[in-house]
């Protein structure tokens, strides 16, 4: 997606050979017009997949997921990282090892929200080693629903997440694929 790649080149900050910071449009401040274009692109990629629900993880997946949900006309669920007073029982819960925080946490979704008839599109902001996407996929499988696809805003193609997900048979669509962050600059894969 050219608009997204342009934005990454103009505003992305390479923090290390492994980590890209995009706080000006995705991870802290959000660019609504860009998110709308991202939602339309995900919708066009998955329009034929009979999606009934979108699942993402709070918080940075929510903006692109909601825009895709608006375009596809389906509800969006965000897996929650902390149990709250209003979300304690009757949950599907999975562990996720966070690439950026280097710690394990749990994500949960209410059992009421996913059922075996659902065909779920998983959306996330970044794909690194695939831990977040695999945790969401395990939740969908716990619910006996189907993972119909995985939509990623920025894939770091030099890490092995996409490979792992594809090996498990999932369709992965990434809107920008970063081949390298070496020497402080962003190189895209073809």
175 lies in the binding site for ligand 5GP (CB under 6 A) = no
Q: Does 187 belong to an annotated binding site? A: no
Cα–Cα distance for residue pair 154/171, rounded to 1 Å: 15
Q: Does 128 belong to an annotated binding site? A: yes
Question: Are residues 183 and 174 in contact, defined by beta-carbon separation less than 8 angstroms?
Answer: no
**DSSP for 144-171, written as a single string:** T-EEEEEEEEEEETTSSHHHHHHHTT--
127 lies in the binding site for ligand 5GP (CB under 6 A) = yes
Quick one: which of 3, 19, 30, 179 contacts ligand 5GP (CB under 6 A)? 19
For the CA atoms of 91, 35, 124, 154, the dihedral, rounded to the nearest 10 degrees, stands at -170
Burial class (CB in 10 A: 0-12, 13-18, 19+), 110: middle
Identify which of residues 130 and 151 has a Cβ nearer to ligand 5GP in the complex. Answer: 130
Cα–Cα distance for residue pair 170/109, rounded to 1 Å: 21
Quick one: which of 24, 93, 129, 160 contacts ligand 5GP (CB under 6 A)? 129
126 lies in the binding site for ligand 5GP (CB under 6 A) = yes
Stretch of 33-41, 43-51, 119-127, 168-176 contacting ligand 5GP, by CB under 6 A: 119-127
CB of 132 to ligand 5GP, least distance (A): 4
Q: What angle separates helix 32-46 from helix 62-72, to the nearest 10 degrees?
A: 50
155 lies in the binding site for ligand 5GP (CB under 6 A) = no
Quick one: which of 60, 64, 108, 151 contacts ligand 5GP (CB under 6 A)? 60
78 lies in the binding site for ligand 5GP (CB under 6 A) = no
Stretch of 86-94, 103-111, 129-137, 166-174 contacting ligand 5GP, by CB under 6 A: 129-137
Identify which of residues 112 and 136 has a Cβ nearer to ligand 5GP in the complex. Answer: 136
Q: What angle separates helix 2-11 from helix 32-46, to the nearest 10 degrees?
A: 140
Identify which of residues 46 and 99 has a Cβ nearer to ligand 5GP in the complex. Answer: 99
Cα–Cα distance for residue pair 88/108, rounded to 1 Å: 9
* Interface with ligand 5GP (CB under 6 A): 19-22, 27, 60, 99-100, 124-132, 156, 161
């Amino acid at each position: 997606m050219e608009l997204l790649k342009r934005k990454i080149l103009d505003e992305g900050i390479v923090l290390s050979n492994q980590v890209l910071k995009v706080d000006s449009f995705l991870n802290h401040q959000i660019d609504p017009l860009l998110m709308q274009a991202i939602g339309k692109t995900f919708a066009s990629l998955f329009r034929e997949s009979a999606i009934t629900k979108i699942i993402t993880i709070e918080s940075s997946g929510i903006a692109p997921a909601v825009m895709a949900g608006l375009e596809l006309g389906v509800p969006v669920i965000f897996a929650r990282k902390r149990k709250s007073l209003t979300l304690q029982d009757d949950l599907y819960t999975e562990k996720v090892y966070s690439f950026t925080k280097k710690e394990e946490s749990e994500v949960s979704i209410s059992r009421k929200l996913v059922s075996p008839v659902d065909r779920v599109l998983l959306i996330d902001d970044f794909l690194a080693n695939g831990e977040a996407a695999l945790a969401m996929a395990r939740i969908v499988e716990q619910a006996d629903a189907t993972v119909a696809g995985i939509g990623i805003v920025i894939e770091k193609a030099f890490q092995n997440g996409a490979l792992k997900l594809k090996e498990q048979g999932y369709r992965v669509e990434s809107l920008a694929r970063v081949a390298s962050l070496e020497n402080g600059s962003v190189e895209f894969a073809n």
